[in-house]
Amino acid sequence: MGTKFKRLMEALSHTTISDDTVERLKYPKSSLKVSIPVRMDNGDLKNFQGYRVIYNNTRGPAKGGIRFHPDVSIEEVELLAYLMTFKCAVLNLPFGGGKGGVTVDPKSISKFELERLSRGYINAVADFIGPDVDVPAPDVYTNQMIMGWMMDQYSIIHRKITPAVITGKPLSMGGSVGRDTATALGSFFVIRTLMKEQNCKKDSLTVAIQGFGNAGSILAELLFRAGYKIVAVSDSKGAIYSENGLDIPSVRKYKNATRDLKSVYCEDSVCNILEHQTLNNEELLALDVDMLIPAALENQITEVNANAVKAKYVFEVANGPIASGADEILEENGVIIIPDILANAGGVTVSYFEWIQNRTGHYWTLGKVNKRLKQKMVQETKNVLEVSQRESVSIRTAAYIHALNRLEEAVNAGGTKSFYTDGI
C-alpha cells in the first residue's frame, strides 16, 4: 500500500477492521488541482498552482488547513489530508480529512498580491468546499486575515454571508476566541497528561523546541510558566541554547520585535543579553534533553539523523516531523513518540468549536473554549494511552488503532461485506 500506509499497517495488525474500511482509506475521495491566475503589481499575469484534497468524509465534512509554501505539491497535500482523517477520528470530531495548498513563497509577493492570490484560490475551489462539504482552516504561512479574505470571497460568490465555510477567521468575521493559541494549548494539555501518567516531575524536565512560530513559541511560554526548563528553541535561521534555561517570555518579545532569536532579560526599559550558545537545527535535534518538540515542518527526523536523537520523549507538534522510516530506529533507542494526530490536534478541535459557533450564531467565552479543549485533549490522551497499555504497542500505533475503531464504526453504519453476504 506504499510507505505512507506503514503506520496504518502496523495498527491494522493489532485490531480487527473490515476490508471495506481499509479499502476506503487506500485512496483520496477527491483530489483537485487548479491554476490560479493573479495579476501582479507590475502588471504581469502569473499562474500559481493550487490544490484541495478530500481524503475521507465517512465521519463528516472534510476538515483541514490551507498552506502557502514553495514546496507544496499534490502528493504532500494528499498525505496531509490522509493524516487529518485520523486526527479528527482520534479526537472524535464529526469531520473527515481534508487539506489544501498553493505552491508559492508568500514572503516574495506583496500584500496586494497575497490578497488576490487568496481570493483567486477560493474562486477556483468554491464549488468543492462548504460548511457541509469541506471546511478549510489556516496552516503553514496562512493566518486569520487570509482566512477572512477567503471567507469573504466565498460569501461574495454565493451571495450570502457564510462564516462556517472556513475556520481560523478574525473574531470580527466569526472567528472563535482561543483559536490562535489552540494548537499550543492542546499540545500543553497532552504533555501535562502524559507526564502525569509517567510520574514525571516537571521542574526536573528539560525541553528543546524546534520551531518558534505561533505554535512553538506559545507552547514554549506555557511550558516555561508551568515550571519546565526550556533549554533551546529555534527558527528557520538557527537555534539558541542555554544549559540553565532560557527566559522564554523575553525571547518571544525580542523575536516579535526584531524577527531574531536572542536570550534576553528585560526589566522596565533595560534589556540584557543573557549567555547562550547558537546552534543549527540538526544540533538542536540531537540535544540531550528529556523532551524534544519538533514544531516546524515535516520530515525533520529521518533515518539519517534518528540515531542522533537523545531525548526520551518526542512530541510531534508539527505535522509529520518524523519520517515513517525513523519510527523503528527511535523506538529501538527507547524514544517515546507522541504522534501529531494527537499532540497537535488542539487546532482542529477549536476549529470544530468555531464551526459550531458559526452555525448556531452563539459565541462562547474564552473560558468555555479552553475548558472544552482541555476536556477533549485530556480524555483522548488517556484513551490513547489506555490502548497503548492494553495492546502493548507504541503511542503512535495506539492513536491509529483508536482512530481506526471510530472510522470502522462509521463504515459499519452504512453496511459492509459481512452485512450484504450474511446468510448467502
Q: Dump pLDDT digits (tens) for 172-184.
A: 999 999 999 999 9
350: cell is 477549536
If you count them, how many residues does the chain have?
424
- Taking the C-alpha atoms of residue 301 and residue 287, their distance in angstroms, rounded to an integer, is 13
| Distance, C-alpha 270 to centroid of its chain | 37
Nearest to 370 by CA among 177, 164, 139: 177
Residues classed as catalytic: 99
DSSP three-state, residue 232: strand
Question: Which class in CATH covers the domain with range 182-343?
Answer: alpha beta
Question: Which class in CATH covers the domain with range 24-165?
Answer: alpha beta
Contacts of 87 by beta carbon, 8 Å cutoff, 6+ apart: 97, 340, 341, 342, 345, 348, 403
DSSP three-state, residue 352: helix
141, amino acid identity: Y
Tens-place pLDDT, residues 227-283 = 999 999 998 888 999 999 999 998 988 888 777 776 655 554 444 556 678 889 899
Torsion of CA 254, 258, 262, 268, to 10 degrees: -30
* Domains in the chain: boundaries: 24-165, 182-343
Query: Could you give the C-alpha distances from 227 to 1, 201, 338, in angstroms and in order?
Result: 44, 10, 21
- Taking the C-alpha atoms of residue 38 and residue 32, their distance in angstroms, rounded to an integer, is 19
323: cell is 519520517
**24-165 with 182-343: one CATH topology?**
yes
The sign of the torsion formed by the CA atoms of 177, 179, 185, 189 equals: positive
Phi and psi at 142, nearest 5°, equal -125, 155
Least confident of 210-224, 252-266, 371-385, 392-406: 252-266
Residue 34 gets the label, from left (phi > 0), alpha (psi -120 to 50) or beta, of beta
Per-residue pLDDT band for 8 (boundaries 50, 70, 90) equals confident
134, amino acid identity: D
Full-model pTM: 0.91
